[in-house]
Amino acid sequence: MAVTIRTPGERHEEPARPVTPAVLELNDNPTVPTVLDGAWFPRTRDAATELTDLVTAFDDQGTRINLFMLNPNGWQHRPRRVEIGDRSVRVAWFDALDAAVLIATTERTRRIQLLIVTDDADGVDDLDA
């Protein structure tokens, strides 16, 4: 499967690569109100790759995401859309969002807020750089 990554003013096809499901932990009981719905553990700062893997992780859990919102600071390759096959997920970048939080919305208008957890070498503090 080819992955198309769109960045402002640019479109290119990347060769098919095995999609590795993202490390994602979600609240077991979504009916209990919490500030955050779970945590996401990106392995790199390449937003295009990591968001593609995150779409797959959500799909595997039966949740279809239609929009990601996150802070651009600290991320490389900031796409406006991530496409996997015939599926397209919009990506919006907002400086005003907390750099340690990703917000996803579903096709059923559910809003999911995830804490972005990185390893110590590339800690969350680096996202503010």
| 3 located within any domain | no
Asked if 68 contacts 51 with a C-beta cutoff of 8 angstroms, the reply is: yes
| Strand, coil or helix: 72 | coil
| Structural domains in the chain (count) | 1
Is beta strand 10-14 parallel, antiparallel or unpaired with respect to 3-7? antiparallel
pLDDT above 90: percentage of residues in the chain: 53
Rg (C-alpha) for the chain, rounded Å, is 14
Which residues span the domain enclosing 49? 21-128
pTM of the shown model: 0.74
Which parts of the chain sit beneath pLDDT 70?
1-22, 30-31, 120-129
Residue in the structure block whose two tokens are 């015939």 = 86
Question: Encoding tokens for residue 108?
Answer: 């059923």
Residue 2 falls within a domain, yes or no? no
pLDDT in tens, 68-104: 999 999 899 999 999 987 889 999 999 999 999 999 9
